[in-house]
Chain A
Amino acid sequence: MSNFTRRKFLKAGIAAAVAGTSMSYGSFAIGGAKKKVVVVGGGIGGATAAKYIRMMDPSVDVTVIEANKDYYTCFMSNEVLSGERTLDSIKFGYTGLAKHGVNVVHDMVTGIDADKRVVKTAGGDSFSYDRCIVAPGIDFKWDAIEGYDAKIAENTPHAWKAGSQTATLRKQLEGMKDGGSFVMVPPTNPFRCPPGPYERVAQIAHYFQQHKPKSSIIILDPKKKFSKFGLFKAGWQRHFGYDPENPTGDGMIKWINSEAGGTVSSYDAGSKTVTAKAGKFKGDVVNIIPPQKAGKIAFSAGLTNDKGWCPINGKTFESTIHKNIHVVGDSSISSPMPKSGYAANSQAKVCAAAVVAMLQGDGAPTPSYVNTCYSIIAPGDGISVAKVYAYDESAGKIIKVKGSGGLTPSEFDPELRAREQQYAYSWFNNITSDVFK
């Protein structure tokens, strides 16, 4: 019997292949100064790109500039609202990135000079780059709902960027009386985390059911349908009381869509009253998630189009407006990929591989992308959607791989739904490690 097993044999073969690769990179080391990459924003997209560039080519000097010392993941923050997990459990720092040799600078980027290839910060520093990766996430269109702005949001939280906003909303839900009403206003498309508002409804319904069973949830939605539509509606009905035939009926959850007058025009913070086409709705707790656009720096750096998002080349994520600047994550126009954490993580790796190749003067490698998104409706009831994406060279865009992906089957299988919940937690542990550790 041979001791030279396949595993070992493969290892030897791949080691040889890798050696070949690093030799071809050798010329670069002789070539002089270290290549510099500056990453603007340390969220899911930015942090992933920084880590993976260092993993792919440790000779590249990578700096992440991020205003906050801690990052709170938006994903799983709905479980903080229901009390199923703590705010601390979705908090991540930057020591992991430092271990990969990434320079982490806590400062606010104020401008990017695309011609001089320099990033400037509020702290007065300048960072020059060979390539820059911008990942600012989302910002809100504060003029979309009259009476709702950044200041009002301190007391009527959107909780669509996790952290203090999540804590505020949780506190208000805890303080609400049994029999109170929670009014939620989801945004128009496109927005961060398409299933998020509807998972939030489920998580808050789960909390009410346990602690405030007489309470109700009113959703004032500017849309006719939403992500995981059938699965959420069936889940709400199964667990909490919702009638798909009569969505504004007596169940705990009432969904008023655009056809039923769910579109909201204004908010009066004093009386906590939301005005929609269907009428005025007073909430004991109100959660308004405004329509969205790319993060602020994307605008000041001139990376956005007239719709407020950043057009990119889907193979490299390089901006189609400014050379040498790449944009990944929610602020990029990467459709058909959704604005999700998994998508940002996947895009960042494709971008990292492209950046490493382009710094060497090589062409970007053939991409492959995935999105996977879990939602937890109630304990023991997890659902998911997934899709594999490829890059169509001739059309010059990201495409869905035919036959791949799709939703959790609509038929309720308790064993598989329980597994999906456990896989959702595994996904959370693994994606956060993949980004921050």
Chain B
Amino acid sequence: MKQSSILKTALLTCGLVFTTASFAGSGPSGAMLGNTCAGCHGTNGVSNGPATPSIAGLDYDYFVEAMNEFKEDKRNTTIMARIAKGYSEAEIEAMSKFFADKEYVKANQTADAAAAKRGAKLHKKYCKNCHGDTGISEDQDDDSGMLAGQWKPYMTYTMADYKSGKREYGKKMGKKIKKLQKDVGDKGFADLLEYYASQK
């Protein structure tokens, strides 16, 4: 699995060399496509908030999967379902490569310190297996979203959608969410979001 992923990435990276050289007849480059996102997601995918998420440095597979979920109306979105329908698989892959290479910058936002402290403990107990020690996984096979320093309103929307069943849980997430709900209740989720918002 891992080997094939690396091979795939290597092939895609080679593809990028050619698109950078802008051969006639090829589709738009990752940069050309990625630049169109900046109006809402910030230059190079670093969002100034308050609600649109940063997409710089997103895991390649996570990005591709998210765009496909938008396209297939599998996420409770506003505008993204409409926009994602404008791109081919190859274009989504090129875009994903472009943003995966960009440096993620944690959002400059306020957070409740006491809640964040409680949230840190909850993260370790319920989330870190897939989202890394502090909310950003470095393991390619996790294919997980970046939580640390992501914009809080976006995180709030996302969590609300998971809990209401409007967004499908990936992998082990459903089980963990249900356990957190049972163990700590709604307050646990609020604390978690404060923890991620507190990370600078």
| Partner-B contacts on A (CB < 8 A) | 1-2, 5-7, 9-11, 13-14, 16-18, 20-21, 24, 52, 342, 345-346, 349-350, 353, 357, 362-363, 365-370, 372, 384, 386-388, 390, 401, 403-406, 408, 415-416, 419-420, 422-423, 425-427, 429-431, 433-434, 437
Contact = CB atoms under 8 A, between A and B. Distances in A.
Contacts of B49: 426, 429
B16 interface: yes
Contacts of A365: 22, 28-29, 32
B51 A363 contact: no
A423 B101 contact: no
A357 B29 CA distance: 13
A346 B76 CA distance: 26
A422 B20 CA distance: 35
B157 interface: yes
8 contacts: A7-B60, A11-B101, A18-B20, A349-B32, A365-B28, A366-B26, A366-B28, A401-B86
B100 A6 contact: yes
B10 A427 contact: no
Q: Which 5 A-B pairs have the closest CB atoms?
A: A388-B86, A404-B86, A13-B13, A6-B140, A426-B52
A367 B52 CA distance: 25
Contacts of B21: 20-21, 24
Contacts of A415: 160
Contact of A366 (B27, B41, B76): B27
A2 B2 contact: yes
Interface in B1-20: 2, 5-6, 9-10, 13, 16-17, 20
B42 interface: yes
For A9, A363, A387, A406, which residue has the most chain B Cβ atoms within 10 angstroms?
A9
A335 to B, nearest CB: 17
Interface in B111-148: 138-140
Contact of A433 (B35, B43, B61): B43
B94 to A, nearest CB: 10
A220 to B, nearest CB: 32
A372 B140 contact: no
B50 A10 contact: no
Contacts of B160: 415
Contact of A426 (B26, B47, B139, B140): B47
A10 B100 contact: yes
A420 B80 CA distance: 11
B184 interface: no
Contact of B79 (A16, A21, A384): A384
Nearest to A24: B21
Given A420-B79, A427-B40, A430-B40, 16 more contacts: A1-B139, A6-B61, A10-B100, A14-B16, A346-B35, A370-B39, A372-B40, A384-B78, A386-B82, A390-B28, A404-B85, A405-B82, A423-B51, A429-B49, A431-B40, A434-B42
Interface in B91-112: 91, 97, 100-101
B188 interface: no
B140 A346 contact: no
Contact of B52 (A7, A342, A401, A423): A423
For A21, A362, A368, which residue has the most chain B Cβ atoms within 10 angstroms?
A368
Contacts of B76: 416
A243 to B, nearest CB: 28
B39 A7 contact: no
Nearest to A349: B35
Contacts of B101: 10-11, 14
A21 B20 contact: yes
A425 B97 contact: no
Interface string B133-170: 00000111000000000010100010010000000000
Contacts of B82: 386, 404-406
Interface in B32-59: 32-33, 35-43, 47-52, 57, 59
Contacts of A431: 38-40
B59 A357 contact: no
A372 B39 contact: yes
A368 B33 contact: yes
A434 B26 CA distance: 27
Nearest to A405: B82
A370 B36 CA distance: 6
Contact of A430 (B5, B42, B138): B42
Contacts of B35: 52, 346, 349, 353
A351 B114 CA distance: 49
Contacts of B83: 370, 372, 386, 388, 404-405
A24 to B, nearest CB: 7
B17 A419 contact: no
Given A20-B17, A369-B36, A426-B51, A14 B97 contact: yes
B9 A6 contact: yes
Contacts of B20: 17-18, 20-21
Given A7-B100, A17-B17, A430-B41, A388 B87 contact: yes
